[in-house]
């Protein structure tokens, strides 16, 4: 969501961070892989052509990179990480702590975090309503 607004380097760094997000609790699930592919499509063909699904060795450098970007970029990245963590139906404390560490590094307050989580829920609700409408 809104990944197309990021510049080339931000997109590549985001994909790296998303890979760390899905790997934090083990191997990515099929659902997580599908979401990563959708995100890859959203960042554009030029990025997709050069990106490989491998974890970078320096997660701290990636997080630090985003700590020095604009508030909007940090919010977009954090929003998409929330979406990634909520794609499956399983709550994972490892993902929660990973997100919290990033939230603190990005200096995102609790109110903004709640707004971003609400966006993810609203998108899920809209998708479910659309499914029900087209099926009846």
Best CATH choice for the domain 3-135 from the list 1.10.8.100, 2.40.37.10, 3.30.1360.120, 1.10.3680.10: 1.10.3680.10
Whether 91 has a pLDDT exceeding 70, the answer reads no
- Give buried/exposed letters for 75-85 (b at 16+ CB in 10 A, else e): bbbbbbbbbbb
How far are the Cα atoms of 22, 66, 85, 115 from residue 70, in angstroms, in the given order? 24, 8, 23, 18
- For the chain, the structural domain boundaries read 3-135
**pLDDT > 70 fraction of the chain, expressed in percent and rounded:** 94
How far are the Cα atoms of 10, 20, 76, 91, 136 from residue 15, in angstroms, in the given order? 9, 9, 12, 22, 37
Which pTM was predicted? 0.87
User: Mind listing the pLDDT tens digit for each residue in 59-89?
Assistant: 899 999 999 999 999 999 999 999 988 887 6
Whether 37 has a pLDDT exceeding 70, the answer reads yes
């Amino acid at each position: 969501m809104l990944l197309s607004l990021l510049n080339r380097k931000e997109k590549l760094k985001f994909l790296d961070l998303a890979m760390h997000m899905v790997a934090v609790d083990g191997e990515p699930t099929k659902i997580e892989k599908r979401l990563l592919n959708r995100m890859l499509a959203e960042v554009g063909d030029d990025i997709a052509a050069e990106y490989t699904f491998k974890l970078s060795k320096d997660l701290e450098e990636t997080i630090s990179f985003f700590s020095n970007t604009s508030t909007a970029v940090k919010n977009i990245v954090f929003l998409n990480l929330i979406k990634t963590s909520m794609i499956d139906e399983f709550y994972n404390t490892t993902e929660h702590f990973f997100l919290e560490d990033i939230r603190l590094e990005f200096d995102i307050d609790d109110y903004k975090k709640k707004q971003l989580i609400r966006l993810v829920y609203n998108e899920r609700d809209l998708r479910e309503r659309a499914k029900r409408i087209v099926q009846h």
